[in-house]
Amino acid sequence: MSRGPRSLVTGGAGFLGSHLCDRLIQEGHEVICIDNLITGDMDHVAHLLGHAGFRFIKYDVTEYLYVEGPLNYILHFASPASPVDYQRLPIQTLKVGSLGTHKALGLAKAKGARLLLASTSEVYGDPQVHPQPESYWGHVNPVGPRGVYDEAKRFAEAMTMAYHRYHGVETRIARIFNTFGPRMRPHDGRVVSNFLMQALEGRPLTVYGDGTQTRSFCFVSDMVDGLFRLLMSSGVEPVNLGNPAERSIRDLVAAVEAILGRRLEVTFNPLPQDDPRVRRPDITRARERLGWEPKVELEAGLRETIAYFRGKGVGA
């Protein structure tokens, strides 16, 4: 049976990775999904297990990485991504960004595959340029608690460019800004999942700091579309992917209140160390090169995420 392209997704049972597996299967790819399940979840890919074009391998990509047969694309998405997770798993985070990226690039070189690296807005740290264009080099504290993620991803970008320049590997780098939606882990500690879980369970919403810090929240279907377009595009420079609609954390509380139609109690907790004050992507490059921009409004995305959590029995 002749199949379409053959793609490997590391972190394929994670939040973004599993949505990417779905998209690649829809596009006619044969998909090999690798995950060590430290923050991934088999439930996210359970519906794909019977599919002839899908294979799951439980594996740690920081170990020697090899798969039989040809590969056209490697999407390197393995990593803890929530601040709570990467501070709980600091060594694994550093290892998957460094050793894991090295292994994925080595496999890309061996197979002549194109590699898409999942990088992050965290490469900009607590930014002193706002909004953040790809040309900004960032403001990162290497020895702070977030350094384990930020520096791992910065190293991963440097390693990716080295494999491109030195070995001629075809590479793409996505700088992914805050993304939310179905398959976020209810207890992953990020602001959207925390607020929705707290609201649905009748607990106060935990605002860190005074809630005037900003983020720009992208719904997962928009993100996956941007990632797929980037994978298929030309051009090796990093591309910001995110929703430029910037909101304060207080705005996010108000959005959840508006959707649920009631006032919500808020408790103010200390702001974590090195928490970025502001964050908003400049997506000019994504617009020009990928013809991409997000379509889903925050409120619509929150409604879908609430429905997902309710479907898992939250607040029942």
Q: How many residues does the chain have?
A: 316
Cα 103 to chain centroid distance, Å, stands at 20
Q: In whole angstroms, what is the distance from residue 220 CA to residue 169 CA?
A: 28
Asked whether 19 and 7 are in contact (CB, 8 A), the reply is no
Q: In whole angstroms, what is the distance from residue 241 CA to residue 179 CA?
A: 10
Q: Choose the binding region for ligand UDP from 69-77, 109-117, 161-169, 270-278 (rule: CB under 6 A).
A: 270-278
Among 225, 275, 293, 304, binds ligand UDP (CB under 6 A): 275
Annotated active-site positions, please?
A: 149
Q: Does 280 bind ligand UDP (CB under 6 A)?
A: no
CB of 102 to ligand UDP, least distance (A): 24
- Cis omega (within 30 of 0) on the bond before 131? yes
Q: In whole angstroms, what is the distance from residue 266 CA to residue 194 CA?
A: 12
Q: Does 238 bind ligand UDP (CB under 6 A)?
A: no
Q: Choose the binding region for ligand UDP from 14-22, 103-111, 167-175, 271-279 (rule: CB under 6 A).
A: 271-279
Q: What share of the chain is helix, strand, coil (3-state, %, to 5)?
A: 40, 20, 40
Q: Does 249 bind ligand UDP (CB under 6 A)?
A: yes
Q: Does 127 bind ligand UDP (CB under 6 A)?
A: no
Reading phi first (left if > 0) and then psi (alpha if -120 to 50, else beta), residue 291 is in: left
Amino acid at site 174: A
CB of 146 to ligand UDP, least distance (A): 8
CB of 190 to ligand UDP, least distance (A): 3
CB of 240 to ligand UDP, least distance (A): 14
Q: Choose the binding region for ligand UDP from 32-40, 168-176, 189-197, 222-230 (rule: CB under 6 A).
A: 189-197
CB atoms closer than 10 angstroms to residue 204: 12
Cβ nearer to ligand UDP, comparing 82 with 132: 82
Asked whether 45 and 33 are in contact (CB, 8 A), the reply is yes
**Number of residues lying near ligand UDP (CB under 6 A):** 15
Among 59, 136, 155, 208, binds ligand UDP (CB under 6 A): 208
Q: In whole angstroms, what is the distance from residue 277 CA to residue 184 CA?
A: 23
Among 144, 185, 272, 274, binds ligand UDP (CB under 6 A): 272
Q: In whole angstroms, what is the distance from residue 224 CA to residue 241 CA?
A: 10
Q: Does 190 bind ligand UDP (CB under 6 A)?
A: yes
Return the CA Rg of the chain: 19
CB of 161 to ligand UDP, least distance (A): 24
The DSSP string of 171-198 is EEEEEE--EE-TT--TTS--HHHHHHHH
Phi, psi of 29 (to 5 degrees): -80, 155
Among 16, 21, 207, 298, binds ligand UDP (CB under 6 A): 207
CB of 77 to ligand UDP, least distance (A): 16
Among 213, 216, 240, 243, binds ligand UDP (CB under 6 A): 213
Terminal Cα distance for the chain, rounded: 46
Among 14, 83, 97, 147, binds ligand UDP (CB under 6 A): 83
Q: Does 92 bind ligand UDP (CB under 6 A)?
A: no
Residues that bind ligand UDP (CB under 6 A): 82-83, 178, 190-191, 194, 206-208, 213, 215, 249, 271-272, 275
